[in-house]
Amino acid sequence: MPSKKTANALELQKAWSVDNIQKKVYKTMKLSEPFYNAFGLLPTTGLWFIWGASGSGKSSFMYKLIKELANFEKIGVNDLEEGADQSVQDAFKRFNIAKIKRRLIWCCETMKEMDERMSKPKSPNVWVINSFQYTGMSFEAFLAFKRKHHKKLIIVISQADGKQPEGRTARKVKSDAALKIWVEGYVAFSKGRYIGNNGGTYTVWLEGSELYHGTATQAPQRNAILNNERKEVRVDFQDR
């Protein structure tokens, strides 16, 4: 008589019921008003993907997002593209990154080294990779990396080819992300599952966005954006 269990039998995980899913409690973040209006409540774990062309405001958005998230979690950044170049130093000054220096670590290391650093006890819960094209990872390798660190929030920055991420693998990673953000003309547009009450747009730099898109922002909203810019950016640094 055949055994109920065979040596080759797969051990299946328990499937979820409708009640299981409906009763599950998710941890989310409510960011400050400009981010919340654009993206709504955001998950504290998983994958976010941000892409844009050179000069689009993508890097400025990255720094603003890092500074915002530091209000909630310690941040780790693996800057494979710029490392600790003078451009990074200038950005630190422009966005007053010194304000969050106790909640930020900055490195430029291989993905194997990053994996080891992320695995250490008390490592940051939020990690930024800039940019994906420098990782040298296949899609399968990145998925394994993401699954290993499923309790972390991983934010991938990507270069662009036209309006899409540069490279087939980067496009696959984008498809896997919960929050997808396209940056163009100093505006960040939500292209994923998280869209706030303003339709999913975050203005990175008001004057630059109006010049690029040929639009004029209404006075109340314009004043709110300008006030936010003054809080975030040192006015003596104009290079975006």
**96 or 240, higher pLDDT:** 96
Integer Cα distance of 178 and 193 in angstroms: 6
Return mean pLDDT, the chain.
Answer: 90
pLDDT of residue 224 exceeding 70, the answer is: no
3-class secondary structure, 34: helix
pLDDT of residue 227 exceeding 90, the answer is: no
Residue written as token pair 């670590």: 105
Q: What is the pLDDT of residue 76?
A: 98
What's the burial of 231, exposed, middle or buried (CB within 10 Å: 0-12/13-18/19+)?
exposed
Does domain 27-204 correspond to CATH entry 3.40.50.1360? no
Q: What is the pLDDT of residue 155?
A: 98
Q: Residue 112 has which token pair?
A: 């194997």
Single out the residue of 68, 63, 117 nearest to residue 91, CA to CA: 63
**240 or 156, higher pLDDT:** 156
pLDDT of residue 50 exceeding 90, the answer is: yes
Cis amide linkage into residue 138, ω under 30° from 0: no
H or E element: which one contains 105? strand 104-107
Q: What is the pLDDT of residue 233?
A: 60
Residue written as token pair 């998925």: 143
Give residue-wise pLDDT tens across range 110-127.
999 999 999 999 999 999
Say if CB 157 and CB 50 are below 8 A apart.
Answer: yes
pLDDT above 70: percentage of residues in the chain: 86
pTM: 0.86
Phi, psi dihedrals of residue 35, rounded to the nearest 5°: -75, -40
pLDDT of residue 238 exceeding 60, the answer is: no
**Sequence-ordered alpha helix ranges (H) in 4-148:** 18-23, 33-39, 58-69, 86-94, 111-118, 139-148
Residue written as token pair 């269990």: 5
